[in-house]
Amino acid sequence: MSANRPQRIGIVVAGYGYWGPNVVRNVIERPEFKLMGVCERDEERVSSLRRRHPGIWVDRDLDITLTDPRVEAVAIATPPSTHYELVTRALEAGKHVLVEKPLATSSQACVELIRLAAQHQLVLMPGHTFVYSPSVNKIRELIHGDVLGEVFFITSSRMNLGKFQRDGVVLDLAPHDLSILLHWLEEPLVRVAASGRSVFHSEVPDTAFMTLTFASGTQANVQLSWLAPRKVRQMVIVGSRRMVQYEDSSSDETVRVYDRGLDFDEPPSNFGEYNLTYRTGDMVAPRIDAVEPLALELQDFASAIKTGAEPRSSARLGVTIVVALEALAESLRQEGRPVTVPPIPLVGSNGRLRVAEGNGKRPSADGVLSAGSERFVRGIGSANGGAPGADGLVAGGTERNGESRAQELDRRRP
């Protein structure tokens, strides 16, 4: 190894199911990491891993991984119900953790994990991949550059056929919409309402309809389903000046900006009577960088480990999303009754994460930001937002052989 080459971070990926192979491939492709092994229990999945990546070391239960000092970090891509236990074990063993969304299945579990990470001075980062999507960040630029004007409402359809999971469609898919919407709007979610249908398993909705109300009054209506004839990932943002359609598909034109809307005559032509005119101007499809969001997410994780900078997909974003998921679950239980989203634990009115040192288990009412924990909680989430690249993220996508671009992009889509 050249003397100038920066030390690579030894990392193990836990979970090689549906999403894990994407994490493994990106870890292998990222220069900041050295893949030390994969942790997977299922023998069929292990065989699939061995076929694709011969020679990779396999751990069945993180045991050896956690005692190996060359392993500095663990990327966890196991089902949500396992996150709390696996993240706790990894942090207690002194490893930095990137854990797939959601951070955990309850806000109390998130609080405990955040405290544990602060106590051990380790990075804890939830994998909210969409906040690294170039299309999502292009729309964020349009919103914050006031190109769209006031955002009146947003609709989202996130549907496909399967795959059924026991945690339900809301826990599986809503974190994507919540992370995108919080990243775009940079304002608190104040109220949610959700109804759903459980077709295959009572109590576990496979289809859900959610209405989300943000502090400024902007509303989002989100449809989630594992029962749909084809994969749909479409969002529409309706602003006072322009409207945007965002389709997370294999097409080149993922974002379309429409100069369309309704204008009032100002002042009214007759007393009290406003004339409305329809504006049907041009559609523009801005250039979007062809970079895989997961590659940028891993790059941000490496940067957080090396420099202490807070990742864009921060622990604060993670706990904020889990609090929203709890409110959505409550509304589902009450058959769609609107539920007020409670304050986010550990997040102060200034938007910063407050982490008290101590037993690492229970949040104090006024958590103190200690010098030791500051490294992991500064510049959190949307507060450090900005356009992609503003925080030093560099495009690093790679092409693969033997696949069309469309197939490749489809496989990489969450």
Which string of x and - marks every residue 112-141 that binds ligand NAD (by CB under 6 A)?
A: ---------------x-x------------
Cβ-based nearer residue to ligand NAD, 132 or 214: 132
Map the footprint of ligand NAD across residues 168-187, applying CB under 6 A: 172
Of the candidate residues 17, 188, 358, 396, the single one contacting ligand NAD (CB under 6 A)? 17
Task: Round to whole Å and give the CA distance between 87 and 93.
Answer: 10
410 binds ligand NAD (CB under 6 A): no
Of the candidate residues 9, 10, 11, 20, the single one contacting ligand NAD (CB under 6 A)? 20
Strand-pair partners of 90:
none
Map the footprint of ligand NAD across residues 200-229, applying CB under 6 A: none
Of the candidate residues 32, 72, 100, 112, the single one contacting ligand NAD (CB under 6 A)? 100
| DSSP letter, residue 395 | -
Segment interacting with ligand NAD, rule: CB under 6 A, options 72-80, 105-113, 182-190, 219-227: 72-80
Segment interacting with ligand NAD, rule: CB under 6 A, options 41-49, 184-192, 298-306, 307-315: 41-49
Of the candidate residues 26, 78, 133, 299, the single one contacting ligand NAD (CB under 6 A)? 78
| SS3 state of residue 88 | helix
Task: Round to whole Å and give the CA distance between 111 and 148.
Answer: 36
311 binds ligand NAD (CB under 6 A): no
Q: To 10 degrees, the CA torsion angle through 56, 60, 61, 62?
A: -10
Task: Round to whole Å and give the CA distance between 410 and 404.
Answer: 10
**Which H or E element spans position 255?**
strand 255-264
Of the candidate residues 9, 10, 13, 15, the single one contacting ligand NAD (CB under 6 A)? 15
3-state secondary structure 31-70: CCEEEEEEECCCHHHHHHHHHHCCCCCEECCCHHHHHCCC
385 binds ligand NAD (CB under 6 A): no
Tokens of 196: 């759903």
| 136: CB partners within 8 A, 6+ apart | 130, 180, 183, 184, 246
Q: Which residue is nearest to ligand NAD (CB)?
A: 17
39 binds ligand NAD (CB under 6 A): yes
Residue 307, phi then psi, degrees to nearest 5: -110, -15
Of the candidate residues 7, 31, 42, 251, the single one contacting ligand NAD (CB under 6 A)? 42
414 binds ligand NAD (CB under 6 A): yes
Segment interacting with ligand NAD, rule: CB under 6 A, options 16-24, 239-247, 252-260, 315-323: 16-24
| 166: CB partners within 8 A, 6+ apart | 81, 201, 204
40 binds ligand NAD (CB under 6 A): yes
| Nearest approach, Cβ of residue 15 and ligand NAD (Å) | 3
Find out whether 141 and 286 touch, Cβ atoms under 8 Å. no
| Nearest approach, Cβ of residue 74 and ligand NAD (Å) | 11
Cβ-based nearer residue to ligand NAD, 72 or 292: 292
**Which H or E element spans position 90?**
helix 80-92
Cβ-based nearer residue to ligand NAD, 131 or 243: 131
Cβ-based nearer residue to ligand NAD, 79 or 379: 79
106 binds ligand NAD (CB under 6 A): no
Find out whether 205 and 170 touch, Cβ atoms under 8 Å. yes
| DSSP letter, residue 83 | H
CA angle, 102 then 19 then 301, to 5°: 60
Of the candidate residues 56, 79, 209, 241, the single one contacting ligand NAD (CB under 6 A)? 79
318 binds ligand NAD (CB under 6 A): no
Task: Round to whole Å and give the CA distance between 102 and 219.
Answer: 23
Cβ-based nearer residue to ligand NAD, 45 or 354: 45
| Nearest approach, Cβ of residue 331 and ligand NAD (Å) | 21
Of the candidate residues 11, 30, 36, 45, the single one contacting ligand NAD (CB under 6 A)? 45
156 binds ligand NAD (CB under 6 A): no
3-state secondary structure 96-159: EEEEECCCCCCHHHHHHHHHHHHHCCCCEEEECHHHHCHHHHHHHHHHHCCCCCCEEEEEEEEE
- Going by C-alpha positions, the residue among 348, 346, 139 that lies closest to residue 247 is 139
80 binds ligand NAD (CB under 6 A): yes
Binding site for ligand NAD (CB under 6 A): 14-20, 39-42, 45, 61, 77-80, 82, 86, 100-101, 127, 129, 172, 414
